[in-house]
Amino acid sequence: MSSTMAIGIDIGGTGIKGAVVDLSTGKLLSARVKLPTPRGGRPADIIETTRALLATVSAEEGAGAVPVGICFPAIVKNGHTMSAANVSDKWIGLAAEKLFEKGLGHPIHFVNDADAAGYAESQFGAARGVDGVVIMTTLGTGIGTALLNDGVLVPNTELGHLQIEGVDYETKAAYSAKERENLSWEKWAGRLQKYYSTVEALFSPDLFIVGGGVSKHHQEFLPLLRLKTPIIPAVHRNNAGILGAAALAVKHGV
Ligand code: BGC
């Protein structure tokens, strides 16, 4: 068994995905397994689905005893989930890392999903070797953000919930809003313009990275944005959370 092998699991509002990762290359060593997030997103149901997913993933590549990292769409502070934007609010204040470890029968490292994605891009993707302030945003069910300075992650930034014109702006500019309201690329880009200009004015970043599944269509919307900061697609898109969760588990010696 290679010491650079780990399992990453990315829990989202709609799906739970996992795979075995080779951390020397940032490549997946197994098929990516995906199960739907149980309706309601309640703790016991999500932990049970994650247990089933981990059993399937660990059966691959003889990955039974490797480190496991899990990322989740909430503020994660000392192993506790402190918010719940697209899952049940029963998660708020929960000792989630301990509950997962009990339910899975395996030690884990537990982090915010966008932080995992940003860390993955800093190690294996678009932010690799980039100095200065990098802001990674994931456009999906919500907007996740990761702030990196000279490659060092500042966790739990939650900039998806910036209030712009009096609204929590992820409800307007996440990819789910485009789908829900059937917005054209141009209409959606108008909202993204407002969002990224606001973040730019507040943080003066050196680089924006845009992830989430929709970033594979980046030609449709990134060229429409007018910003001072370069804005580029993520390299790992939908796998960034898996890669980052796995890499952080190894970094933290789980
Ligand atoms: C949550 C964040 C999460 C993001 C992406 C937001 O609604 O508050 O914690 O990173 O969605 O899933």
What are the tokens at 252?
Answer: 């933290």
**Adjacent-strand bridge partners of 223:** none
Instruction: For residue 207, give the amino acid letter.
Output: L
User: Using a 6 Å cutoff on CB, does residue 174 contact ligand 1?
Assistant: no
pLDDT in tens, 53-73: 999 999 876 666 799 999 999
Q: What is the 25 CA–ligand 1 centroid distance (Å)?
A: 27
Burial 63-87 (b: 16+ CB within 10 A, else e): beebbbbbbbbbbbeebbbbbbbbb
Answer whether residue 2 shows pLDDT above 60. Answer: no
| Residue 198 vs residues 161, 167, 192: alpha-carbon distances, Å | 12, 13, 10
Q: Is the CB of 170 under 6 A from ligand 1?
A: yes
Mutual angle of helices 113-124 and 240-251, in 10-degree steps: 80
Question: According to the model, what pLDDT value does residue 178 have?
Answer: 98
Cα radius of gyration rounded to whole Å, the chain: 17
CATH classification for the domain delimited by 5-116+239-251, as one of 3.30.420.40, 1.10.3720.10, 3.40.50.970, 3.30.465.10: 3.30.420.40
- The arithmetic mean of pLDDT across residues 73-89, rounded, is 94
Give residue 62 CA to ligand 1 midpoint distance, Å: 32
In whole angstroms, what separates CA 36 from the centre of its chain? Answer: 16
Q: What is the number of alpha carbons within 13 Å of residue 89 lying toward its C-beta?
A: 0
On the question of a common fold for 5-116+239-251 and 129-233, the answer reads yes
Instruction: Name the pTM for this structure.
Output: 0.96
CATH 3.30.870.10 fits domain 129-233: no
- Distance between alpha carbon 191 and the CA centroid of its chain, in Å? 21
For 117-171, write each residue's pLDDT tens digit.
Answer: 999 999 999 999 999 999 999 999 899 999 999 999 999 999 999 999 999 999 9
Task: Output the pLDDT for position 61.
Answer: 65
Amino acid sitting at position 203: F
Burial 156-193 (b: 16+ CB within 10 A, else e): bbbbbebeeeeeebbebbbbbbbeeeebeeeebbbbbb
Q: What is the mean pLDDT of the chain?
A: 95
- Ordered by start, the domain boundaries in the chain are 5-116+239-251, 129-233
Whose CA is closest to atom 4 on ligand 1?
Answer: 144
Do the beta carbons of residue 159 and residue 208 sit within 8 Å? no
**Which residue's CA lies nearest to atom 11 of ligand 1?**
142
Q: Which atom of ligand 1 is nearest to the CA of 13?
A: 12
How many angstroms separate the alpha carbon of residue 107 from the centre of ligand 1?
24
